[in-house]
């Protein structure tokens, strides 16, 4: 950034200098005043805009072609332990100091301009308007406190001077020319640019030249009616006065300008020389050449292609050393036997090894042999297990870019040295949950931040998480059975705080209860029973979207808390209700594999549409609207427990319930590989056959397909596909069918950023299509689209490519 800023300042300074020299040497003494005015304004604009353009570099002098022969020697992809943290030496950043100085100057000059404008406005209000000119410009008498000048539509006239009526009229005519030609805009433009680039002295010259040109223009017009001699006498007669407001157009500013104005009036009869005016074109061309010359010239393509020859090159892991580091961090796992062979649970498990990897011509990596290995604990079984982990690590590697010799891919041997340390964990399971490998590529700083860039997220967000907890948690029987005799409280509040370990695959691998509190306080037997029930519920959770670190899924710990209120008196009459439900009786609302209607979601809505019978009384009442129902798809795929959540009309509600119960058997949902009961929600729009056509949507209900500012996923397009790749699952059925291809889904991002109206346009496989649509429905809120400065509904069509995993 700093280099680009310097380049911009140098190029703009070159433009200001060259274009001003053309004015000073060729145009300043010419009587083409209007041309000079616009030339100076155009020079300012071009000098600051041209450096922002994509003008290519230019080599002014021929360069000898360099023989570029790239010879890449094979090198080892060595990995060592990142246990030594190198603290970079702190150096003073002069750029920060320059930015502070620039900010102070910008603030000072900006405030000065504002103060000047406020002072002038206050002065005009205090004095009031004395009379108006023919062009309706108000005239304010200054009583000698300010000299005569004009600003915007106002003329500030020094009425303390002794002037004849004719001289007063000439001066007012002069100021009227400034107002009619809007010279104040020119001065304000130069002033604002001068504030932004206050450190550039060339802008002072431009402001002086513009003020001088303004005076020449006004003098020329007044002299046409009053005569050059009389008008020159009026200028000489003026008395020197200080100008306290530097933004105005002054009739008399200083003696040197007055003499120059008199000289220019003597040249009014001369025509400007066209040849000098045309010199502005070469000056502009010279400016463009200077900017191009200050930029690096592109290398000649032909010479580069002719002289560049890649002779030898090593094999390279996709993404380079950084990607290899991330891969080893996420893939290499210390073997379980190493933890079992420790003498004490507090001992460290450590592996230091160097392996040889054979990279074939097609980039396939094959484990070669172990060149060096040190393990702790030092045991033959540990050594053998580590070597097996090395082989598994290489087997999981993606294809490399093979080594090249004389431009052809060849097989090569690459060495990788890995060091991994496991801390004093109590068990191998605890290591898998919270492992932090200290592995880095040689030359890479080990002082990288360890925090995750994206935390784990429950499918559907926090609202879905709490719905799951409240629907699945069952108050233990001990709450009613082990109640103390002195405790007569009817209601008991249970507060639960727990910490989950979410694995890299998104599954809950461990639950540690942080706190179980009851109000009123209960015996330990009750709190232990509550804790057992909490663990059961949390272990039944569907897979989360895992946390991400450096682009890779990692294990993480997530804290959750919720409360439950139970009426213990009501439960006395039905102990069966208090008993924990069996797994087969549990009803889930989100599972790893959701239930699926035969043929997918589109087939389900076609079934509802074809089989729904509109009741006669609802038809006569012309009832139209949305009805929403929930039902349970049990482990056998049958639809049970239909409940209408959003009622529309009694007969319509019954008709919709009947058609839901007539649905064919679904493919049941699965959790941890087992079929489970899953509650499903279906909306259905009912339109009366006799109802009038719906009114055209109002402006705020319209759905656009293209707007001025399209909706945006939080984090942009890359974050969107990263979210989908982690949220869309690949079912076993799709794997068995080797299903792959491009799916297309449309959805509407409404005015508040929520996702609605998800529709499948092109499917690949029923399970994949449903997984993709669920992931889109549970997406976080988008930044809504905007049209005419208002948030609007926008329909988007998104393709998503499914690639079958390698077998």
Beta pairing partners, 545: 457
For 481, phi then psi, to 5°, come to -80, -40
* The two three-digit tokens of residue 204, written as one number: 């002072």
Residues 6+ apart with CB under 8 A from 725: none
Q: Which of 359, 486, 341 is nearest to 422 (CA)?
A: 341
pLDDT the model gives residue 109: 92
pLDDT the model gives residue 590: 64
In a domain, 527, yes or no: yes
pLDDT the model gives residue 76: 36
Question: How much is the average pLDDT of 202-221?
Answer: 88
pLDDT value at 574 more than 50: no
C-alpha–C-alpha distance, residues 434 and 420, integer Å = 14
DSSP state of 26: I
pLDDT value at 579 more than 60: no
- Give the torsion through C-alpha atoms of 300, 303, 305, 311, to 10 deg: -130
C-alpha–C-alpha distance, residues 386 and 251, integer Å = 92
Q: How many residues are present in the chain?
A: 807
pLDDT value at 451 more than 50: no
pLDDT the model gives residue 88: 39
pLDDT value at 436 more than 70: no
Are 285 and 361 within one domain? no
pLDDT the model gives residue 772: 87
Are 569 and 678 within one domain? no
Whether the Cβ atoms of residue 593 and residue 731 lie closer than 8 Å to each other: yes
* The two three-digit tokens of residue 203, written as one number: 């802008």
Model confidence over 463-476: pLDDT tens digits? 677 777 777 778 88
Going from the C-alpha of 330 to that of each of 315, 373, 413, 439, the distances in angstroms are: 21, 20, 23, 10
In a domain, 98, yes or no: no
The CATH number given to whatever domain includes residue 713 is 3.30.2420
**pTM above the 0.85 mark?**
no
In a domain, 693, yes or no: no
* The two three-digit tokens of residue 503, written as one number: 């694995």
For 167, phi then psi, to 5°, come to -65, -40
- Is pLDDT larger for residue 203 or for residue 692? 203
Q: Give the long-range contacts of residues 326-331, CB within 8 A, separation 24 or more.
A: 326/550, 326/551, 326/552, 327/397, 327/552, 328/79, 328/393, 328/416, 328/418, 328/437, 328/439, 329/437, 329/439, 329/552, 330/504, 330/552, 330/553, 330/554, 331/393, 331/396
User: In which band, very low, low, confident or very high, does the pLDDT at 345 lie, cut at 50, 70 and 90?
Assistant: low
Q: Which of 378, 368, 373, 335 is nearest to 354 (CA)?
A: 373
* Token pair 């009227």: residue: 176
In a domain, 47, yes or no: yes
- Is pLDDT larger for residue 741 or for residue 57? 741
Are 245 and 124 within one domain? yes
Question: How much is the average pLDDT of 673-699?
Answer: 69
Question: How much is the average pLDDT of 285-300?
Answer: 75
Going from the C-alpha of 176 to that of each of 137, 157, 216, 322, the distances in angstroms are: 8, 12, 14, 70
SS3 249: strand
Whether the Cβ atoms of residue 452 and residue 557 lie closer than 8 Å to each other: no
Can you list the positions of beta strands (E) in 687-772? 703-704, 741-749, 755-762
pLDDT the model gives residue 310: 44
pLDDT the model gives residue 114: 93
For 744, phi then psi, to 5°, come to -130, 130
Q: Give the long-range contacts of residues 452-456, CB within 8 A, separation 24 or more.
A: 452/547, 452/548, 452/549, 452/554, 452/556, 453/548, 453/549, 453/550, 454/547, 454/548, 455/547, 455/556, 455/558, 456/502, 456/506, 456/544, 456/545, 456/546, 456/547, 456/556, 456/558
In a domain, 455, yes or no: no
C-alpha–C-alpha distance, residues 286 and 445, integer Å = 48
Lowest mean pLDDT among 375-384, 439-448, 588-597: 439-448
CA angle 551, 552, 554 (to 5 degrees): 130
Angle between helices 202-226 and 33-49 (to 10 degrees): 160
Looking at every residue in the chain, the average pLDDT score rounds to: 77
pLDDT the model gives residue 748: 92
3-state secondary structure 128-184: CCCEECCCCCEEEECCCCCCCEEECCEEEECCCCCCCHHHHHHHHHHHHHHHHCCHH
Residues 6+ apart with CB under 8 A from 51: 7, 8, 11, 12, 15, 291
Last residue of a domain, one of 659, 686, 713: 686
Are 499 and 525 within one domain? yes
Element (H, E) at 328: helix 320-331
Last residue of a domain, one of 407, 441, 475: 441
In a domain, 74, yes or no: no
* The two three-digit tokens of residue 575, written as one number: 């102990």
Are 609 and 622 within one domain? yes
Last residue of a domain, one of 581, 612, 628: 581
Model confidence over 15-43: pLDDT tens digits? 889 999 999 898 888 889 899 999 999 99
Model confidence over 140-164: pLDDT tens digits? 998 888 888 898 889 998 888 878 8
pLDDT the model gives residue 327: 79
Are 344 and 198 within one domain? no
Question: How much is the average pLDDT of 609-634?
Answer: 84
Are 125 and 266 within one domain? yes
pLDDT value at 695 more than 70: no
User: In which band, very low, low, confident or very high, does the pLDDT at 483 lie, cut at 50, 70 and 90?
Assistant: low
Going from the C-alpha of 566 to that of each of 42, 476, 513, 531, 578, the distances in angstroms are: 79, 10, 20, 16, 10
Residues 6+ apart with CB under 8 A from 369: 355, 356
| Count of other CB atoms within 10 angstroms of residue 607 | 18
Question: How much is the average pLDDT of 356-370?
Answer: 90
pLDDT the model gives residue 108: 94
* The two three-digit tokens of residue 733, written as one number: 């059925």
* The two three-digit tokens of residue 118, written as one number: 């406020």
3-state helix, strand, coil in the chain (%, to 5): 40, 25, 35
* The two three-digit tokens of residue 133, written as one number: 């000119």
Model confidence over 237-266: pLDDT tens digits? 664 444 445 555 555 445 567 777 777 777
Share of the chain above pLDDT 70, in %: 78
* The two three-digit tokens of residue 34, written as one number: 């209007």
Are 147 and 256 within one domain? yes
Q: How far apart are the first and last CA of the chain?
A: 47
pLDDT the model gives residue 239: 43
- For β-strands 154-157 and 138-141, DSSP reports them as parallel
Model confidence over 705-757: pLDDT tens digits? 767 788 888 887 777 877 887 788 777 778 888 888 888 889 999 998 889 99
pLDDT value at 111 more than 90: yes
Angle between helices 280-293 and 33-49 (to 10 degrees): 10
- Is pLDDT larger for residue 226 or for residue 572? 226
User: In which band, very low, low, confident or very high, does the pLDDT at 69 lie, cut at 50, 70 and 90?
Assistant: very low
C-alpha–C-alpha distance, residues 342 and 340, integer Å = 6
Going from the C-alpha of 276 to that of each of 65, 217, 267, 397, the distances in angstroms are: 41, 19, 16, 72
Domain range for 641 is 601-686
Model confidence over 388-403: pLDDT tens digits? 888 888 888 888 888 8
C-alpha–C-alpha distance, residues 352 and 81, integer Å = 8
pLDDT the model gives residue 664: 93
Are 212 and 287 within one domain? no
Residues 6+ apart with CB under 8 A from 469: 537, 560, 562
DSSP state of 600: -
In a domain, 694, yes or no: no
* The two three-digit tokens of residue 362, written as one number: 């097609």
- Is pLDDT larger for residue 412 or for residue 269? 412
C-alpha–C-alpha distance, residues 459 and 467, integer Å = 12
In a domain, 71, yes or no: no
Tally the domains of the chain. Answer: 6
Is residue 772 classed exposed, middle or buried when 0-12, 13-18 and 19+ CB atoms within 10 A define those classes? Answer: buried
- Is pLDDT larger for residue 573 or for residue 707? 707
Which region holds residue 794: left if phi is over 0, alpha if psi is between -120 and 50, else beta? beta
Are 556 and 407 within one domain? no
Question: How much is the average pLDDT of 578-595?
Answer: 62
Are 280 and 266 within one domain? no
pLDDT the model gives residue 488: 56
Are 127 and 249 within one domain? yes
pLDDT the model gives residue 446: 29
């Amino acid at each position: 950034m700093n280099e680009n800023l310097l380049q911009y300042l140098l190029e703009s300074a070159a433009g200001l200098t060259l274009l001003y020299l053309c004015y000073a040497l060729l145009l300043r003494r010419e009587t083409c005043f209007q041309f000079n005015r616009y030339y100076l304004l155009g020079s300012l604009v071009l000098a600051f805009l041209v450096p922002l353009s994509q003008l290519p570099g230019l080599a002014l002098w021929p360069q000898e072609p360099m023989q570029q022969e790239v010879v890449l020697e094979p090198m080892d992809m060595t990995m060592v332990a990142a246990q030594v943290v190198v603290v970079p030496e702190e150096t003073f950043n002069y750029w920060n100091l320059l930015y502070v100085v620039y900010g102070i100057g910008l603030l000072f000059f900006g405030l000065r301009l504002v103060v000047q404008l406020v002072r002038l406005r206050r002065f005009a209000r205090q004095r009031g308007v004395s009379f108006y000119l023919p062009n309706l410009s108000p005239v304010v008498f200054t009583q000698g406190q300010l000299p005569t000048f004009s600003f915007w539509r106002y003329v500030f006239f020094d009425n303390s001077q002794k002037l004849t009526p004719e001289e007063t009229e000439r001066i007012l005519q002069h100021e009227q020319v400034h107002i009619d030609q809007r010279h104040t805009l020119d001065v304000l433009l130069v002033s604002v640019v001068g504030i932004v680039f206050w450190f550039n002295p060339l802008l002072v010259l431009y402001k002086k030249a513009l003020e001088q040109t303004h005076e020449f223009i006004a003098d020329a017009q007044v002299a046409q009616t009053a005569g050059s001699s009389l008008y020159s006498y009026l200028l000489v007669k003026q008395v020197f006065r200080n100008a306290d407001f530097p933004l105005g157009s002054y009739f008399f500013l200083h003696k040197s300008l007055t003499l120059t104005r008199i000289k220019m009036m003597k040249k009014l009869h001369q025509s400007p020389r066209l040849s000098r005016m045309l010199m502005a074109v070469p000056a502009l061309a010279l400016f463009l050449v200077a900017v191009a010359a200050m930029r690096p010239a592109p290398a000649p393509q032909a010479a580069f292609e002719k002289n560049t020859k890649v002779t030898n090159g090593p094999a390279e892991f996709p993404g380079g050393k950084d990607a290899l580091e991330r891969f080893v961090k996420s893939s290499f796992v210390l073997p379980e036997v190493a933890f079992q062979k420790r003498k004490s649970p507090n001992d460290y498990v450590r592996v230091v090894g160097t392996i040889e990897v054979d990279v074939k011509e097609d980039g396939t990596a094959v484990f070669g042999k172990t060149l060096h290995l040190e393990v702790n604990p030092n045991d033959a079984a540990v050594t053998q297990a580590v070597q097996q982990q090395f082989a598994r690590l290489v087997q999981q590697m993606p294809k490399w870019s093979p080594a090249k010799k004389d431009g052809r891919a060849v097989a090569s041997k690459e060495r990788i040295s890995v060091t991994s340390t496991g801390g004093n964990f109590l068990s191998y399971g605890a290591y898998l949950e919270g492992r932090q490998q200290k592995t880095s590529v040689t030359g890479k700083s080990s002082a990288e931040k360890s925090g995750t860039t994206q935390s784990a997220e429950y499918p559907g967000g926090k609202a879905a998480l709490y719905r799951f907890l409240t629907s699945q948690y069952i108050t233990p029987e001990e709450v009613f059975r082990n109640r103390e005799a002195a405790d007569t409280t009817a209601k008991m509040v249970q507060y639960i705080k727990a910490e989950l370990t979410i694995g890299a695959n998104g599954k809950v691998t461990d639950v540690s209860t942080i706190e179980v509190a009851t109000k009123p306080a209960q015996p330990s037997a009750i709190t232990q029973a509550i804790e057992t029930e909490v663990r059961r519920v949390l272990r039944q959770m569907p897979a989360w979207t895992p946390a991400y670190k450096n682009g890779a899924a990692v294990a993480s710990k997530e804290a959750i808390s919720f409360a439950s209120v139970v009426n213990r008196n009501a439960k006395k009459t039905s102990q069966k209700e208090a008993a924990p439900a069996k797994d087969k009786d549990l009803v889930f609302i989100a599972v790893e594999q959701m239930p699926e209607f035969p043929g997918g979601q589109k087939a389900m809505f076609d079934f509802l549409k074809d089989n729904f019978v509109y009741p006669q009384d609802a038809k006569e009442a012309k009832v139209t609207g949305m009805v929403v129902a929930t039902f349970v798809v049990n482990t056998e795929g049958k639809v049970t427990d239909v409940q209408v959540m959003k009622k529309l009309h009694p007969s319509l509600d019954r008709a919709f319930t009947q058609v839901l119960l007539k649905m064919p058997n679904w493919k049941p949902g699965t959790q941890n590989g087992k079929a489970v009961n899953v509650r499903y929600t279906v909306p259905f729009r009912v339109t009366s056959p006799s109802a009038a056509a719906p009114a055209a949507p109002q402006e705020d209900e319209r759905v656009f397909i293209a707007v001025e500012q399209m909706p945006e996923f939080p984090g942009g397009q890359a974050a969107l596909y990263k979210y989908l790749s982690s949220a869309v699952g690949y079912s076993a059925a799709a794997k068995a069918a080797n299903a792959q291809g491009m799916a297309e889904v449309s959805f509407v991002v409404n005015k508040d950023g929520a996702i609605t109206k998800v529709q499948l346009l092109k499917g690949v496989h029923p399970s994949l299509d449903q997984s993709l649509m669920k992931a889109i429905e549970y997406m976080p809120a988008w930044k809504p689209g905007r049209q005419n400065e208002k948030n609007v509904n926008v329909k988007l069509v998104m393709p998503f490519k499914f690639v079958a995993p390698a077998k």
